[in-house]
Structure 1
Amino acid sequence: MDDEADLRELLVITLGRMKLDATAAASLEEGRRLLDGGAFDLCLTDMNLGDGTGLDLIRHAAARAPDMPVAVITAYGNMEVATEAMKLGAYDFIAKPVALDRLRQLIEDGLGISRAEPAAEGGGEEDGLIGQGPAMQRLKQQIRKLARSQAPIYISGESGSGKERVARLIHALGPRREKPFVAVNCGAIPSELMESEFFGHRKGSFTGAVEDRKGLFREADGGTLFLDEVADLPLHMQVKLLRAIQEKTIRPVGESREFDVNLRILCATHRGLGEEMTAGRFRQDLYYRLNVIEAHVPPLRERPEDVPALVAHILARLGQAWEATPPAVGDGAMAALRQYPFPGNVRELENILERAMTLCDGPRIEPDHLHLPSAEPAAPATGNGGGRHPQLPLEDYLQEIEKQEILRALDATHWNRTAAAKKLGMTFRSLRYRLKKLELDQEGDATSE
C-alpha cells in the first residue's frame, strides 16, 4: 500500500516476477477495506498513505489479521519510525530508495513467517524453559509472539537467569529455525580482534591471518546472531556494528567488497543497557536499534514456585550424566531451596545440586548436603581471616570450598580415590566426575580402584 503510483507499480511487478498475486492500495482507507474484505499472506506498506500513516495500518492489521506479517517502507534514515513500526508488530522494514534484491529478501522473509507452521504449545522441558508460575507463563507467551517477528530483541536479566536459553527458544520457534543460531560473548573477544571475529578477514590482511575467515555475521547468515554481554563492546566496535545492522552488509578486514547478510539480531546483558547509555558507555543510536523490544527474564527469587520443577529437571539430567539414579530431595532441603534468594539464579541452583548430589550418600538430599552460603562454615584461611574472599564471586567461592574438601580427603588417603570417595561419603563415580569438573583428575598419582 503506497500513495506513490511508481512505487506501487514496482511492488506489483516485483511480486509478479516472484509468481505472487498482488493487490495495490493508494490510501489508508483503501488498505483497511482490502484487509477487512479478504485474507492476505503478507502486507507491505509505505509510511505515507495520504489520508494516514503506515503505523495506522499496522494497528488495523494487528486487530483484524494478527497472524499476517507486515513490513514497512520508510524514508532513508528514519529509524525512529521504523523502530516504532516494529514495536507495533511489523516484522521488518526497508528504506527508500528501494533496492530490488533487498525487497525480494524482505518479501521472502515475510512469506516464510506466514507459511511457517505454528509452534507447538509447550509447557516445561520440551520448550526449553522450566516453570509454570505466572512470571514464566508471561515470558513464554511473549517469546511465542516475538518468534514470528524479525525485530531485534534485547533480553535483559541477571547473570545465570537463562538469557541465552530464551534467545535459542526465540530462534527455534521462528521461521529461521532451520538456519544457524550463532552465539557470541562480546566480553570474551579481545578488542583488537573484534572486527575480524564479527566480519571476517582475508588471508594475509594482518599478522596471524593465515587463512580466510567468514566471521560471525556470515556464519549466522539466514539465521540468528545472539550477542551476549553486548554492553561490553567498545565504542569503536559499536559504530561498526550499528552500520552492519542498518545496512545489512559487512566488509571483512582486508576485503575490497561488501557482502550482504540477512540475519536476526538478539542481544543480552546482565547490566542495565539504558544505564550504560546514560553513562556514555553505550551509543544511543545503537541502543535504540537493538532495544526495539525487550524481553525480561525474571530472577529465580521472584519465582520460588518453579524451584521444585527446576530441581527435578536438573537432578534427572545429572543422573543421566553420572549414569546413576538421582536422589530425592527431602522436605527440609526443598524448603531451604525455595527460601534461598539465589543471587546466581538457575546457574547457581545447578551448582548447588551438583555439590549436594556429590555429598549425598543416601537416597535423599537433606539440608546439610546443600551447603547454602547462609549456613556455610568458614573457609580455610585465604588471607582475610578465613572468611569469604571479598572479590571472589559466589559460585567460585562455593566451588573453592568443595575443591579444598576433596583435596583434603585425597591427601589424607595418599590420593587413593576409592578411599577418598568413602571418606567423603560419595560413590567413586561421583568423585571421578567432580575431579574432572574441578580439573583435579591429573593431580598426583591417583589410584583408581
Structure 2
Amino acid sequence: MSLKNERRPRCRGEAKRVLVVDDEADIRELLDLTLARMGLHADCVGSLAEARRMLVGQRYQLCLTDMRLPDGEGLELVRHIAATVADLPVAVITAHGSAENAVSALKAGAFDYIAKPVSLDQLRGMVKSALELPSPDSDGGIGGESGLLGQSTAIGQVRMLIDRVARSQAPVHISGESGSGKELAARLIHTLGARRDRAFVPVNCGAIPENLMESEFFGYRKGAFTGASDDREGFFHVADGGTLFLDEVAELPLTMQVKLLRAIQEKRVRKVGATTEEAVDVRVICATHQDLKVLVEKGRFRQDLFYRLNVIELRMPALRECREDIPMLAQHILGRLARAADLEPPLLTAPALEALQGYPFPGNVRELENVMERALALMAGDRIDVVDLNLAPSQLTGATTSAVGGSLQDHLDQVERQAILDALKQSNNNRTAAARLLGVTFRSLRYRMARLGMNE
C-alpha cells in the first residue's frame, strides 16, 4: 500500500514546519529568518500552484500566505486548506488597513491575519498561538461537569461550531436569549483554543458608566485625570494573550463603539493620557440578547463594528428548543446543588419531569437552575414532585399570569417593572431623573428596561 499522500506524524525531535507563500522575495526571506530564530523550519514558495504541490507531500503545522499572489488570491489557498487539510491553521498577510480582506479571510476559515508592514512581535505571537492549538482528536471536549450538556440536535450543532471556531482567532458574536448559556459558550471557545492557558476576561458592557468606559477598557496614565494617582491597565491589557468577552455589547455607546472598532482592527490601544499606542494580542468574543442587525438599522450600533464582531455568529438555542435535554440538565443541576449542600441528590418524579418538559422556561437554563435550587430547599421528602417545582400555572396552562401563583422570578420582574414605571411617571418619563429616583445609574436603568422588554 502506498503511503505517498498519507499525513504521517512528525518524528520526535523533528522541527515544526511552516509553509510560507508570498511572491515578494524580501518578505519570504524576512519570514524565513524570523521563523528560523523560533526554531522552526520554513518552506518558502511564491505561488498558489507551488503551495498546493508542497501540501501534497509534506506535513505542516502552520501556513502563512499573502492575500495577493501571481496566480490567484490567498483566499483560494485558505479554502483549499480548509477542504483538504482541516487541522492545518493558515494565517494571511494583508495590506495595511485592509479590514475587508482580513474579515473575508477569517470568514473563509483563516486562523488569524497580520497586516503589512509586518510587525515581528505580532508575527511571533501569532505563530506561537497557532502552534499551541490542541490537536482535533485530543481529549478535553465540551461535555462533562463544565461543558455543554445535552443530546438534542440544537445542542449538537452548537458543540460542532464551538469545536470549529475554537481553532481560529476570529471574533465571535454569540446571540441568544438571557440565560441560554452565552458566557458558557464563550468560555468553552477559550478553553478549547490556543489561548486556554491565558486570561479569560468577562466584561458586562451594560454595567460600566459611560464616563469611565475608555479608562476601563484601555487603562490610563498617572495624572491623566483627577484621581489617577497611578498607572492602570485596562481590560485589553489584562486579556493580552487571552480572550476578552464583551457581554451585552449592544449597551456600548456610539462613541465607545468607534474606539473599540479601532482597537480590534489595529490590535493596538492607547491608554487615557498616553501619547503612544501599545500592541495587544486579544481575541474578542461578544454576546447580546438583542438583535444587533435591528440596532444597526436603527442607527444605535455601528455597521462597521457589527461587521468586525460578527465574523462568526453562534446562536445559543433557547431551552424550550431542547426539551429532550431538560431531564438530564435538571438531574445534573440537582446533583451539583446537592453536593454543594452536602446532601444526597433527590430524585425527580415522572410527573415532575413531565411538568418541566412542558414549561417554556422564558429564563432558559438560568431559570431551570433557580427552579431546582428552590425545589431542593422546599421539598418535604426525599424526592421532588410537581408541587415542589412551584412552576407558574400561567406558563403551564396558557392563562394570564396573576400576582398569585407565578414563579419567583415572575414576581421579582413584576415588582421591578412597576417600580420603574412609577419612577418614570414621577419624573415625566425623564430616564435620567428616574434612574436618580431609583438609586441606579442611567445605564443600569437602560439595561433593566431592556431585560424587561420596556424599551422601544
Give the TM-score normalised by structure 2: 0.81
Kindly indicate whether the alpha-carbon contact (under 8 Å) linking 1:344 and 1:395 is maintained by their aligned counterparts in 2. Answer: no
Change (3 A) 1:388 1:233: farther
**Out of 234, 238, 241, which is 1:222 matched to?**
241
Q: Is residue 87 of structure 2 the alignment partner of residue 67 of structure 1?
A: yes
Report whether the alignment pairs 1:96 with 2:116: yes
Which among 76, 82, 87 is matched to residue 102 of structure 2? 82
Equivalent residue runs for 1:226-375 within 5 Å: 226-374=245-393
CA contact (8 A) 2:391 2:407 kept: no
Distance 1:64 1:376, change over 3 A: closer
CA contact (8 A) 2:92 2:110 kept: yes
Aligned partner of 2:179 in structure 1 is: 160
- The alignment covers a number of residue pairs equal to 390
Report if aligned partners of 2:250, 2:292 keep a CA contact under 8 Å in 1: yes
Give the Å deviation of 1:32: 0.7
Contact 1:47 1:53 in 2 (8 A): yes
Match of 1:7 in 2: 27
Residues 405-437 of structure 1, C-alpha deviations (whole Å, 9 max, x = no match): xxxxxxxxxxxxxxxxxxxxxxxxxxxxxxxxx
Give the Cα separation in 1 of the matches to 2:206 and 2:233: 20
Deviation at 1:100, TM superposition (A): 2.2
Higher Cα Rg, which structure: 1
Whether the aligned pair in 2 keeps the contact of 1:330 and 1:366 (CA below 8 Å) is yes
Does the CA-based 8 Å contact 1:330-1:364 persist in structure 2?
yes
Q: C-alpha distance in 2, partners of 1:22/1:371?
A: 64
The residue type equivalent to 1:79 in the other structure is A
Please, what TM-score do these two structures have when normalized by structure 1?
0.82
Cα displacement (A) at 1:245: 1.0
Query: Which residue type is aligned with residue 184 of structure 1?
Result: V
The equivalences for 1:10-89 within 5 A come to 10-89=30-109
**Aligned residues of 1:58 and 1:88 also touching (Cα < 8 A):** yes
Q: What residue number does 2:439 align with?
A: none
The match for 1:110 is 130
- The match for 1:409 is none
CA contact (8 A) 2:347 2:383 kept: yes
Aligned-residue offset at 1:154: 0.7
Cα deviation digits, residues 313-350 of structure 1 (max 9, x gap): 11111112222223211111110100111110000111
Give me the CA root mean square deviation: 2.3
Equivalents in 1 of 2:395, 2:62: separation in Å? 59
Letter in 2 for 1:250: V
1:397 equivalenced with 2:410 (yes/no): yes
Residues 401, 321 of structure 1: alpha-carbon distance in 2 compared, 3 angstrom cutoff: farther
Aligned CA distance change for structure 1 residues 314 and 126 (closer, same or farther; 3 Å): closer
- Paired with 2:219 and 2:142, the residues of 1 have a C-alpha distance of 40
Letter of the 1:108 partner, please give it.
Answer: K
Q: Percent identity?
A: 56
Which digits, 9 at most, give the CA deviation of each residue in 1:46-99, with x for residues without a partner? 111111111111111112211111000112222222112111211111112222
Looking at structure 1, the residues matched to 376 and 414 of structure 2 have their Cα atoms a distance apart, in angstroms, of 16
- Of residues 363-372 and 296-305 in structure 1, the stretch that sits farther from structure 2 once superposed is 363-372
Letter of the 1:232 counterpart: E
CA contact (8 A) 1:229 1:268 kept: yes
For 1:8 and 1:176, how far apart are their aligned partners in 2? 27
